[in-house]
Structure 1
Amino acid sequence: MTEETTPNRCRIVLIVPQPGADDEGRVEAALRGGDIASLVIPDHGIDESAFQARAERLARLAQARGVAAVVAGEPRIAARIQADGIHVEGSKAELADAIRRHQGRMMVGCGGAKNRDDALELGETQPDYIFFGRFGYDTKPEPHPRNLSLGAWWADMIQIPCVVLAGSDIASVVDVARTGAEFVALGNAVFAEGLDSAAKVAEANALLDEHAPVLEEQR
């Protein structure tokens, strides 16, 4: 994706599904579906060696298409596989340590904020982004109202980019984009059983092209 073709509106962040039947094939298909900013790879509770092998395979698929690969759960694995970023769901101290050790060589983002105070506390460490939502909790068609509220407040007040988790209905990307968030995260809306992952990414991009505000006009 070149600078000229990268859309200047809310962009897609994909959340890798739990290990399962052809899950890596579905990720590869989704990556062919259109513009994607990054691929977040959670550990989903699997053991470290299996997670490292899986994360490396998925990261290579993403990077081959110019998509940033972000490892959630273990900074050491992110460094070992030469990922593009680390996602931290821990305390402010853990986030600060990851930033001190790794920021500069790769981006370091965070999640886990349940309210504005939490978000501001984490933001003091200057992460590269903040994520509003919880992996795997996009089970309803619409985004969680709290995530939308936090995303709109953050996007209006803070320069650090934010990612807001959408719902299980692909059309919910429009609700996220209208908050002013720079990124919308998609999990079940793309990877739920029976879905055509590539088609869902293409549909999400078409909706964002039509409805997402231009970010320069908001800042």
Structure 2
Amino acid sequence: MTDCQLYLISPLDVSGDFPQRLERALDAGTGIATAFQFRVKGIDQHEAAKLAEPLQAICAARDVAFIVNDDVALAKRLNADGVHLGQGDGEPKDAREELGHDIQVGVTCHASKHLAMEAGEAGADYVAFGAFFDSTTKASEHRPDLEILEWWSTLFEIPCVAIGGITPENCKPLIDAGADFLAVSGSVWNGDEVAAIKAFAEQIGTA
């Protein structure tokens, strides 16, 4: 049994029945789906906070980390469990100063060992590599090799997240290479979320 876990990333539209879908997904992935990233774009903070509230409560009730994408101020307002920073979203140490020491800070490192080591030195709690496959959620010209996961997990204690176009069909090599988390979005929300989570759980269980 591997200790790889799922890190769910929200679709851009989290209105309507999305809270119910999140509940179903997390309940199907108990013990495996342990983090959820709130990722919305182009709306003001007040609106974002309103959308986040029910989702944060669902995560809290299931002991799932609620992480805000890109926005330190929103993470602070929500008292979120963490914030995820892209390369243009500021420094981990600044986020830590702003949000306190209990917050999880993750950093996108694309396909770069150098960026990952810098993030680790700056106090990141996890680093994210990707995109490993073509993704409909977010375009990326970066294509890391599996070797980067092996290298990181052999040398460093900080967890690494694999991201980008990951499906139940293609995730096994990432798990075998040492990914601590698989960040998944479209492969869960573009269809039946319960079936998708169960399919991922099966792959993780056999890895």
TM-score between both structures, scaled by the size of structure 1: 0.80
**Could you tell me whether the CA contact under 8 Å between 2:110 and 2:143 is conserved in 1?**
no
Report if aligned partners of 1:129, 1:162 keep a CA contact under 8 Å in 2: yes
Aligned counterparts, 1:92-107, within 5 A = 94-107=91-104
Q: Distance in 1 between matches of 2:39 and 2:156?
A: 26
Structure 2 unmatched runs, 5+: none
Distance 1:57 1:92 in 2: 25
2:56 pairs with 1:62: no
Match of 1:200 in 2: 196
| Deviation larger for 180-189 or 15-24 | 15-24
The question of 1:177 aligning with 2:172 is answered no
The match for 1:26 among 21, 24, 42 is 21
The root-mean-square deviation of aligned C-alpha atoms, in Å, is 2.5
**Structure 1 spans left out of the alignment, 5+ residues:** 1-6, 212-219
Counterparts in 2 of 1:94 and 1:145: CA distance versus 1, 3 Å: closer
Q: 1:167 to 1:91 in 2, by over 3 A?
A: closer
Question: Does residue 50 of the first structure (1) align with residue 47 of the second (2)?
Answer: yes
Secondary structure of the residue that 2:68 maps to in structure 1? Answer: strand
Cα distance between partner residues in 2 of 1:43 and 1:109 = 17
Distance of aligned partners of 1:166 and 1:147 in 2 relative to their CA distance in 1, 3 Å threshold: farther
Measure how far apart 1:190 and its partner are.
Answer: 0.5
1:23 deviation in Å? 3.1
Q: Distance in 1 between matches of 2:197 and 2:90?
A: 35
Residue 38 (str. 1) matches residue 67 (str. 2): no
- List per-residue Cα deviations over 1:75-128 (Å, max 9, x = no partner): 222122221111111459522201233242321111144411222222211211
1:88 lines up with 2:85 in the alignment: yes
TM-score, structure 2 as length reference: 0.84
Q: Equivalents in 2 of 1:92, 1:191: separation in Å?
A: 26
